[in-house]
Amino acid sequence: MLLDTRLGSAEGGTIRLSDGQAFSADTLVWTAGVKPSPLARTSGLPVDDQGRVIVDEHLRVTGVPDAWAAGDIAAVPDRTTGGLAPPTAQHAMRQGRRLGRNVAASLTGGDLHPFEWRNVGGVCSLGRYKGVANVFGVKVKGFAGWFLHRSYHLWAMPTLARRVRIALDWTIALLFPRDISQMGSFQDPLEPFRRAAEG
């Protein structure tokens, strides 16, 4: 394991690191964490050591009247764990709804409510008709895990019309084999990246 080391380049099957190391590799797996926008640090708002705006349980910026923050730029207290809410899209969507209601309540003299979210599990697709899920402590895998993953993402879509379109598309994909006309891009997967680098 290398710390404080960045990938310098990955070209022609050669990996070059920021510390000068170079080695051959046919496979490159890239993962990344979530980093808040640098705007938070330069905003003058209070930030934590990760650069996230510090908010209270109602999503109000600590020590700044009438300022609110949510999502991956905010250090939102998680009342169930005592830590911070993870900077995921699922949490950001729910925080946004709570923030909107709290802002409206603050303008109309209503009661503010804390952001609360109880995690009921996780789902993950592992490819075509395969997945894993852990929902309410029940672990499933294979087609059932894949189906739960798809169902959760369908449920999270914002409008009924979009849900229906997606459900129809997925149903058609279940009934028919994969459209091989879309496979052409797999013959030279680096080509779009070369074009982007040149343009």
The domain ranges of the chain are 39-108, 121-175
| Residues 131, 124 contacting (CB under 8 angstroms) | yes
pLDDT at 122: 86
The structure's pTM equals 0.63
Whether the CB-CB separation of 126 and 134 falls below 8 Å is answered with no
| Spatial CA neighbour of 73 closest among 33, 30, 119, 39 | 39
Residues present in the chain in total: 199
Q: What is the DSSP letter of 58?
A: T
Query: Which pLDDT score is estimated for 31?
Result: 75
DSSP state letter for 189: T
pLDDT given at position 181: 64
Q: What is the pLDDT of residue 59?
A: 97
> pLDDT value at position 27?
80
Tell me the CATH class for 39-108. Answer: alpha beta
Gap between the Cα atoms of 164 and 83, Å rounded: 37
Task: Tell me if residue 52 falls in helix, strand or coil.
Answer: coil
3-state secondary structure labels for all residues of 105-156: HHHHCCCCCCCCCCCCEEEEECCCCCEEEEECCEEEEEHHHHHHHHHHHHHC
Q: What is the pLDDT along the chain (199 residues), one digit of tens a residue?
A: 788 888 888 888 899 999 999 999 988 877 777 788 889 999 999 999 999 999 999 999 999 999 999 999 999 999 888 899 988 888 898 999 999 999 999 999 999 999 998 777 888 888 888 999 998 999 999 999 999 999 988 988 889 999 999 999 988 888 887 766 665 556 677 777 788 778 6
Residue showing tokens 């070209």? 11
